[in-house]
Amino acid sequence: MTSVRLGWVGLLFGLTAAAAETSPPLVLLFYDRPPYLQRDHEGKIVGLTASVATQVLQSAGIAFEWRELSTNRQLMALEKNTEPACAVGWFRLPEREVWAKYSKPLYRDRPTEAYLRRGLTVEAPVRLAHLLSQNGLRVVIKDRFTYGAYIDRLLQTAPITRVVLTSDTVDMLRHVQMGHADLVFATAEEADWFERERPHVVTGLQRVQLADAEPGEYRHLMCSRKVSDTTIEKIDAAIDAQVAVP
């Protein structure tokens, strides 16, 4: 009887080990948004949040693969919860915690800035609360995006005209360049990158720092409920060991 029982234990152990070896890699969802997420000349996904995510998962011993999806499709995929997947570099929102799990922060943004249409008169220091009080100001807003608690709160009550887009940052900037809108938000990191790497994208626009901008938001891995608590704990432990977020 003992030998039979031990045989079953060995079989179960073997099946468990085999299942672990064949479990699918964690899917990392991304979209092209330099300098946070972009392909380098070798096709690798790198950037301020992408490189940290890679470092953390490798340190935690978690197999993963990158998959490119638009922002709205990322949100849909995580809400559907059909596979273990994490979107890289998202802000933490209470309403999304109903269907998402979050890691500890990977990165913290610098304060948000804005690009304004050529010819739009502003006086320094520029305060966003005053800027948005201009009736009918056309503000580019990315669909289902958050800009942080303070800016989101101002946008809810300001007498602005919303220009809601699902496209990337370059197209949003182009709307302001072409006079179809008056203002678009950008992180300081994005603004620095565009002015250094693709200056034509911001040619003719006014870059302004917002005197009333709050400290930047934290960016996390935002994961589907299929990602186990054990995996999240491993990720968080690796973040604690590898990442210094102010």
Q: Quick check: 6 pLDDT over 60?
A: no
Q: At what angle do helices 229-242 and 50-60 cross, to 10 degrees?
A: 110
Mean pLDDT of the region 43-60 = 98
E-state strands within 31-159:
38-39, 45-46, 64-68, 85-90, 100-102, 107-108, 112-116, 138-142
Please say if the pLDDT value at position 220 is more than 60. Answer: yes
| All domains of the chain in start order, with CATH | 24-108+217-242 (3.40.190.10), 112-209 (3.40.190.10)
Residue 17: what pLDDT? 41
Looking at residue 142, its pLDDT comes to 96
Q: Is the pLDDT of residue 127 over 80?
A: yes
Q: Are strands 64-68 and 26-30 parallel, antiparallel or unpaired?
A: parallel
Distance CA 63, CA 58 (A): 7
The pLDDT assigned to 22 comes to 62
List Cβ neighbours of 212 (8 Å cut-off, separation of 6 or more): 127, 128, 129, 150
Main-chain phi, psi angles of 97, to 5 degrees: -70, -10
User: What average pLDDT does this structure show over 208-213?
Assistant: 96
